[in-house]
Structure 1
């Protein structure tokens, strides 16, 4: 129970960074890498999902900062893209890339491509600078 209470003390940026670090650890410790491909898709999917959740935490905080008391958590990727796009096109492009690289290609399709997943992780890291 102490860990759960500790998590509540983390800032949104720290929590997102923790998710991102967990994704990297899953890949390095469990996915196995050889010749530019991951060996175990199960762990790639797990890491992609974890990293994508970091991106959503970042976007939620970004929208809270922009919208203040009017903020309501987005319910779909379309809602995220519409709202983020109102404020910053560069952030919107990162969102679209992360959605494709981690959520669709990494999680749903279960890619084994190290390059695709690493690009997605790098884009989430760039997003962290926005909060």
Structure 2
């Protein structure tokens, strides 16, 4: 389990590095949509890797976002809010739209960190 959390954190570190090194931040905006999209996908993947570990999901098949929402809702409403925010911010606004507003990316990364830390806490107790 700890290796999986480390893997999730590695995805998040990669997302931060992409934004820092390649997206070109200027006056609160990133300059390159391509790298914002890559960072959003990387960070969201980190969240899913952590959640898959929590839910003992070893299948490699793609799961619908509702699959995650249902399971999180049974455990913790605050975590569900964070997941919904991460989905909207990382997956949609960054990953698909390439939103160039740096504050959006910052908020998304923080939500991802909070979710991964939540999973780490849950798995440490188990």
Q: TM-score, normalised by structure 1?
A: 0.83
C-alpha RMSD over aligned residues: 1.7
> Counterpart in 2 of 1:104?
92
Q: Distance in 2 between matches of 1:19 and 1:124?
A: 10
Q: Distance in 2 between matches of 1:72 and 1:96?
A: 23
Q: How many residues align?
A: 117
Q: Which runs of 5+ in 2 are unaligned?
A: 121-126
Q: Distance in 2 between matches of 1:16 and 1:50?
A: 9
Residues 11-64 of structure 1 deviation map (CA, whole Å, 9 limit, x = unaligned): 111001111001111111100001110000000000110000001011112222
Q: CA deviation at 1:72?
A: 6.3
2:29 paired with 1:41: no
Q: Which runs of 4+ in 1 moved over 3 A?
A: 71-74
Q: Which runs of 5+ in 1 are unaligned?
A: 1-9, 65-70
Q: CA deviation at 1:114?
A: 0.5
Report if the CA contact (8 A) 1:63-1:84 is conserved: no
